[in-house]
A and B are shown apart, each in its own frame.
Chain A
């Protein structure tokens, strides 16, 4: 594909792996109160379109295995952000290891939407 046809937009698509106790915070993140779209973050439901992949809280082995498989198949690899105490192995649930390179860890049980936005901004700087 020629370079001028490549997608170069300011918006960043986020794919969420919602699980367990972190869900309410993530659901609230995309509500008008916090509104991450003002910073250029939108939500997708397809991993192929994702610029950022967020793994939150406790994810069972089956689901993690599926995501790792999909991640390896992707050409455009998204930035991975892990959210919650369980993902950092200091939470209440004994979560399995994430075998994908994680750029940013956001601590908290569960982390507030503000701290998730802060982590997203830091993640952009890395990329």
Chain B
């Protein structure tokens, strides 16, 4: 059997062998890889000009790319960005994280055919998208407008809008939790399917929700705190319940808890003493110095990293981009073995590959 997956900027082809209605082995061939485009296209250009390109590359982690790159430039120039800027960044990073996780939950609940749970995920998604639209002027891609048009300022009406979306997410998340807790149909579908061992995670340096559900502390928010998370000091509030099972059901719970944590972070940043209400900021024009710089950011699918070399003239001489989905895809060959053929869609979705279009 051959599977053809299509995603923006590239295709992948999978070859699967089947024995007794179970996947026996899986091989993957990558065609046109998006990250190689970045490495080649962005060479010999001024760094500030290609921020808008970066955010379009990954499907739902646009903000992370752009923030990562911006913070790289800030490091290179030796800038100190205003605290207000950091707060706004973290708010949008966490909101996008919630958005990405709700897409995943929506997919999972669609297999169980539970209309109430599906409707709650849609409610969260709609609220978040309308929030992005209200604040940034665009339905999905927040970043370009956050850094360009919005000029790092949020009006008091926008803050109320963000608060309303958070209330919506907490309401519907609580109802999702009630539905998902000891739900027999979900347990029968998800438990003991697509097993990921600790060896896989450690050997292939897999990050994101795959590692968290095994209790491995590869969360970049705590291990390598991003510039945006440094001052608000939100790492201490992160709490995860320990889950010992080794299946999609446990991963689903891990993602629900992560959404809860990110809601807590946004709530803490929108309290009354928050600098968001001051609406004042200080920014300097960056001047890049010669040297090598690197940066890492935690996204819902793993860690995004970048290394750049800057010339005398302030132009990029070398660039290398590490993206999380590449790393997580490497796990397919091992993790999919032994899964039922009927559950192949579920298996792909559980590995955080939004599979767009599959022709069997």
Contact = CB atoms under 8 A, between A and B. Distances in A.
Nearest to A34: B122
B125 interface: yes
Contacts of B118: 31-33
B119 interface: yes
Interface in B15-32: 31-32
Given A28-B125, A60-B6, A109 B139 contact: yes
A108 interface: yes
B357 A18 contact: yes
Interface stretch (B103-111, B232-240, B244-252, B278-286): B103-111
Given A31-B118, A31-B122, A92-B56, A20 B7 contact: yes
Interface in A9-36: 17-21, 23-24, 27-28, 31-33
A63 B11 contact: yes
A27 B110 contact: yes
Interface string B135-148: 00011110000000
Contacts of A58: 8
B219 to A, nearest CB: 25
A27 B3 CA distance: 20
A33 B119 contact: yes
Nearest to A30: B110
A45 B110 CA distance: 16
A60 B356 contact: no
B291 interface: no
A19 B354 CA distance: 10
B119 A32 contact: yes
B59 interface: yes
A33 B9 CA distance: 31
A17 B119 contact: no
B10 interface: yes
Interface string B202-216: 000000000000000
A108 B115 CA distance: 27
B107 A27 contact: yes
Nearest to B99: A24
A62 B119 contact: no
A78 interface: no
A23 B140 contact: no
Contacts of B56: 92-93
Contact of B141 (A23, A92, A112): A92
Interface of B: 4, 6-11, 31-32, 56, 59-60, 103, 106-107, 110, 115, 118-119, 122, 125, 138-141, 354, 356-357, 359
11 contacts: A18-B357, A19-B8, A19-B356, A20-B8, A20-B356, A33-B118, A57-B8, A62-B6, A62-B11, A92-B56, A108-B139
- Nearest first, the 5 closest Cβ-Cβ pairs linking A and B are A20-B8, A32-B115, A92-B56, A63-B6, A58-B8
